[in-house]
Structures are given as C-alpha cells and as structure tokens.
Amino acid sequence: MTIDRFQQAAEKEKYVHSVFTAIAHRYDLLNTALSFNQDKYWRRFAVRQAGLPAGGQALDVCCGTAMLTLELARSVEKVKVTGLDFCEEMLAVGRGNIAKSNCCEAIELVQGNALALPFADNTFDCATIGFALRNVPDIKQTIAEMQRVVKPGGRVVSLELAKPSAPVFKQLYYLYFEQILPLLGKLGVGFDGPYRWLPESLRRFPHQSVICDYFTEVGLKQACYHELTGGIAAVHVGVK
Ligand SMILES: C[S@@+](CC[C@H](N)C(=O)[O-])C[C@H]1O[C@@H](n2cnc3c(N)ncnc32)[C@H](O)[C@@H]1O
C-alpha cells in the first residue's frame, strides 16, 4: 500500500469510527425503519448461508449492536459466537441487546479491527460480516482475514447493501436512498452527516459481481452471491 493509500485508509477508518460513535444509540431503530424492516429477513438469510453446525463456533466481524451475532446464536443449539467491532459505543448497545436475550452464555463481544483479526488461523466454523464491507478501508484484506480464521470447509458470508439493476425500481430506489433517506436519518439522529455517509459509501462500493471476484481472489471456493429484495442487498458466500 502506498503512503497516500495508507493515509486515505487511516482517514476513512477514523471517519467511519466517528460516524458509528455518533449514531450508536439510534442505529437499531433507524436500521429497521430505513430498511422497511427488511434487515431482519436479510440477516436470517445470511445466517442460513453460514451453515453453522450445532455446537460450532462462529465469528461475526463488525458486529456493531450484535443483531447478526444474536441471529447466529439463535440459529442452532450450543454454539459459541464471538462478535468483533472497533467501536465501543456500538458494542455497548450490543451488550444491552444481548442482556435482553436468552443468549448471554453463547456470545462474547470483543473490541478489535476487522483488518487484523486477533484470532489464530482455522479457529471458527464460519465468519460473517453484516453491512460493513462498505465501511472498511480495505475490502479484500477484510475478506482475507475472515478466510484465514475460518477452518477448512467453513464458510465466509457477507451481507451488504448492493446495486439493483431493474430500470424503474433502480431509479425509485436511488431517489429514496440518495435524497430521502439522508433526511430521515438526520431527523432520527438529530444532526446531519452520518446518514449522508450511507449513499456515499454505496456509490463508492464495487458491484456485487466484483465483491464475488474478491472472494475467489482471497482463495475462497464456490464463491457466489444471492441478491435480495430486487438487488437492494446481496449475500456473498465462499467456502475455505
Ligand atoms: C453498519 S454497522 C453494521 C453492524 C452490524 N453488523 C449489523 O448487522 O447491523 C457497521 C459496523 O462496522 C464497524 N466497523 C467499521 N469498520 C471497522 C473496522 N475496521 N474494524 C472493526 N469494526 C469496524 C462499525 O463500528 C459498525 O459497528
């Protein structure tokens, strides 16, 4: 990585950290409202793709408020799920969500960076990441780290916003996403900024087919993706 790219990466990381610190207290409510309650269905679909076996161990990278972490913990019996995020405010909301669930024993949350996961090679049966590849400064490095810590035969799964292609639907969606959603987000958190990041991050994010190539390039087999809700979201899957 050149010095310029390194500086850009460090700046993006700092900016993203400040965005999630600012919106942590409203994140769950706004996530559900702004996705018209689709986020729950998308998370459940992603968890099914992860193929976590009963008694297995899962990692949820960039776990935020632990919504995907909780879905993993609920999916099968006697699992151990580790959620990792670099934002203490998001983890604090996550701890509250876990305390209200009946999965306290199954989940551990740790603070850490997705680009340098603090786990040994071949530790987990699967690794997931939800709505976060857009936010990391190096997408491929993050997928490579997930691949590294998953056991051979284990799956790496990403749930992320994507780029719909059907003509009229696409135009309506971008009108909502680029013009209306930042205003609703501003109303929700009380100030401008964080919800402008959402459309901007999607604009900068590669098409779902390119993300699929990244899965293959880091060494994952059978890389594929499923488009959800007309391509608003996509779930990528690869096997180590
Ligand atoms: C949009 S939230 C998604 C939270 C959760 N996965 C979900 O399904 O709702 C993105 C999360 O990624 C975290 N994040 C962004 N960059 C990170 C990094 N480099 N290392 C660890 N966490 C990061 C943020 O703190 C935030 O909690």
Helix (H) or strand (E) holding 184: helix 181-189
Q: What pLDDT does 154 receive?
A: 98
Model pLDDT, residue 139: 97
Least confident of 92-96, 162-166, 176-180, 215-219: 176-180
Q: Which domains does the chain have, with CATH numbers?
A: 3-239 (3.40.50.150)
3-state percent helix, strand, coil for the chain, nearest multiple of 5? 55, 20, 25
Q: List pLDDT tens digits, range 91-141.
A: 999 999 999 999 999 999 999 999 999 999 999 999 999 999 999 999 999
| Least-confidence region, from 42-46, 144-148, 180-184 | 180-184
User: What is the torsional sign of CA 132, 138, 139, 140?
Assistant: negative
Q: Which helix (H) or strand (E) holds 17?
A: helix 3-23
**Mutational pocket test of ligand 1: of 85, 161, 189, the residue with most ligand atoms within 8 Å of the beta carbon:** 85
Whole-number Å distance between alpha carbons of 22 and 50: 31
Mutate to test the pocket of ligand 1, among 86, 91, 202 (most ligand atoms within 8 A of CB): 86
